Amino acid sequence: MIRGIRNNNPLNIRRSSIHWQGARKEQTDKSFVQFETMAYGYRAAWKILQTYYERFCMEGKAYTVRNIISRWAPPAENDTEAYVKNVLGMASIGGKEKLLPPSNVLSYGRLSRMVVAMTCIECGIAYDKVDTEAIAQGYKLAFPSNQEKLDEWLLEEDEYRNW
């Protein structure tokens, strides 16, 4: 089984001093966090994306896919340019397009497509194998005050049907 799926950590969040909500009590993977459910893995990803937004604002950087991926998958460890191109292609987002913060429910459409693409890259799976319901559940866990707004948005939009 794919490591990111086995760990319920589809974006392969590395272990650190952070005590993630929903992390398994026993962590047997030496490198990556293991979560109780896929939704908690996505919750952590949404929280990291929100932190990136806040840091980029403090640093005077734009919140774009290119800047997000450059921090998520730095060139010292990854072929960042290939990662960016793959995400942009799969998610149909411009690399320099300024994105709204994750905590703004209006950002969900674009950012969830980015999260799907990142899952495909991190886990080596096709986009139609990504658990989009877990992405939405993770968002609701990360931003509980947006639950009702997201439910309304999801009823109106079908982000994944036209892929």
Q: Which sign, positive or negative, has the C-alpha torsion 61, 62, 68, 73?
A: negative
Q: What is the mean pLDDT of residues 70-74?
A: 94
What is the value of pTM for the model shown? 0.93
Instruction: Flag whether pLDDT at 160 surpasses 80.
Output: no
State the residue range of the domain holding 11.
3-156
Asked whether residue 93 is assigned to any structural domain, the reply reads yes
With respect to residue 19, please indicate whether it lies within any of the assigned structural domains.
yes
Residue 161 falls inside a structural domain: no
- Provide the mean pLDDT of the chain: 93
Is residue 44 in a domain?
A: yes
Residue 162, pLDDT > 60, answer no
Task: Count the domains in the chain.
Answer: 1
Is residue 59 in a domain? yes
pLDDT top residue among 81 and 159:
81
Average pLDDT over residues 66-76: 94
How many whole angstroms separate alpha carbon 51 and alpha carbon 163? 28
Condensed to tens digits (0 to 9), the pLDDT of residues 131-149 reads 999 999 999 999 999 999 9
- Give domain status of residue 104, yes or no: yes
Asked if the structure places residue 162 within a domain, the reply is no
pLDDT tens-digit readout, 77-98: 899 999 999 999 999 888 888 9
Q: What is the pLDDT of residues 18-61, one digit of tens each?
A: 999 999 999 999 999 999 999 999 999 999 999 999 999 999 99
Whether residue 24 lies inside any domain: the answer is yes
